[in-house]
Amino acid sequence: QRNRPSCLPNFVMDRLSSDLKLAAQRELGETPQVRRDAVEQLRKLLAEEPQLQCPLDEEFLVKFLRGRKYCVEEAFENIRKYFRVRLEHPDIFDNLLPSRIMFDAIFHQNKLVTILKKPDFLGRPILVVKFGAWNPEVCSLNELIRANLVVSECGLLNQMAQIAGVVSVADLVGLKMSHLLYFTPSEIKKIIKLIQECYPLRIKGIYVVNNPALFELFFTVAKLFLKPKLLKRFRFIGRDYEKLHELIPRDGLPEEYGGTQDPFDYDDYERSLRSQENYFVELARYGYRER
């Protein structure tokens, strides 16, 4: 059967709490009837896409419906791009598995990617990415992108992230021109396309801290590809962490940002990501047939 209605392993979403139900209705217009009808319509559209094999279980489809506020046509287009980009960039998506991520270089040594233990004031998960700590000689840009995609994919299994969205802290301490040379316009365009068009991420804020003057070179190019809605969600904090504390609770931030949170447990986080290996193995079986 082309479009298997199978369930991806480890992907059974928890029952929504009453607070999350209210948030889903308020943020997305989601009700049980809206959800049922939209899933049915989306399955019909997918059945008319002959080259695409896509999971049809409700949990998988709801990620995309929530990401596009239950506009079925937009969710369908998001799914098409989500699988199409896997064909366009095999250098990123081939063997995209937690077991194939450079955990030591990306997480343990340089702490490039972190999910904070506590959410922000609105309950949204917080991703911290330290671009300035990236060593291109040890870890390629593609490997950094792959790690972020694994983190994002796992994060999208979190219903709070689906409903309330996520925020990101981009820490640029240590950023040098040698880093920016890797971010060619084509690479910037590719990364922004992944974020804006190919994944059902509801990014509600990007907080840039420790940004040096040379970051303007990067951002001048990035603005060419950013949609106005996402562009408006950038906040430039610099080194004034008091501004950051207005957006993220101080007790949820580590000491380096003026917070009181204990150091992040990267060993535990690695175990958490690796526990989703079967999900990624199964997901890799879906997609467009190569022409």
Are residues 223 and 248 both part of a single domain?
yes
User: 1 in a domain, yes or no?
Assistant: no
Report percent pLDDT > 90 for the chain. 91
Are residues 126 and 252 both part of a single domain?
yes
Are residues 42 and 130 both part of a single domain?
no
Q: In this structure, are residues 189 and 146 in contact, taking their beta carbons and an 8 Å threshold?
A: no
Are residues 38 and 137 both part of a single domain?
no
User: 188 in a domain, yes or no?
Assistant: yes
Confidence of residue 4 (pLDDT cuts 50, 70, 90): very low
Residue 110 token pair: 């340089």
CATH number reported for the structural domain that contains residue 84 in this entry = 1.10.8.20
Identify the pLDDT of residue 133.
Answer: 96
Mean pLDDT of the chain: 93
Q: In this structure, are residues 251 and 261 in contact, taking their beta carbons and an 8 Å threshold?
A: yes
Are residues 87 and 114 both part of a single domain?
no
Are residues 84 and 191 both part of a single domain?
no
Tens of pLDDT, residues 52-84: 999 999 999 999 999 999 999 999 999 999 999
For every residue of the chain, DSSP letters joined together read --S--PPPTT--PPPPPHHHHHHHHHHH---HHHHHHHHHHHHHHHHT-TTEE---SHHHHHHHHHHTTT-HHHHHHHHHHHHHHHHH-HHHHTT--GGGS-HIIIIIIT--EEE-SS--TTS--EEEEEGGG--TTTS-HHHHHHHHHHHHHHHTT-HHHHHH-EEEEEE-TT--HHHHTT--HHHHHHHHHIIIIIS---EEEEEEES--TTHHHHHHHHTTTS-HHHHTTEEEEET-HHHHHTTS-GGGSBGGGT--BPPP-HHHHHHHHHTTHHHHHHHTT-EEPP-
Tens of pLDDT, residues 176-195: 999 999 999 999 999 999 99
Other C-beta atoms lying within 10 Å of the C-beta of residue 162: 27
Confidence of residue 15 (pLDDT cuts 50, 70, 90): low
User: 173 in a domain, yes or no?
Assistant: yes
Are residues 121 and 247 both part of a single domain?
yes
Amino acid at 277: E
User: 61 in a domain, yes or no?
Assistant: yes
Angle at which helix 266-274 crosses helix 141-155, to 10 degrees, equals 70
Residue 89: pLDDT above 70? yes
User: 138 in a domain, yes or no?
Assistant: yes
- Tell me how many domains the chain contains: 2
Identify the pLDDT of residue 254.
Answer: 95
Structural domain for 73, as ranges: 18-92+278-288
Average pLDDT over residues 147-158: 96
Identify the pLDDT of residue 16.
Answer: 78
Confidence of residue 14 (pLDDT cuts 50, 70, 90): low
Identify the pLDDT of residue 3.
Answer: 47
CATH number reported for the structural domain that contains residue 206 in this entry = 3.40.525.10
Are residues 152 and 52 both part of a single domain?
no
Are residues 158 and 262 both part of a single domain?
yes
Are residues 59 and 114 both part of a single domain?
no
User: 26 in a domain, yes or no?
Assistant: yes
Are residues 25 and 164 both part of a single domain?
no
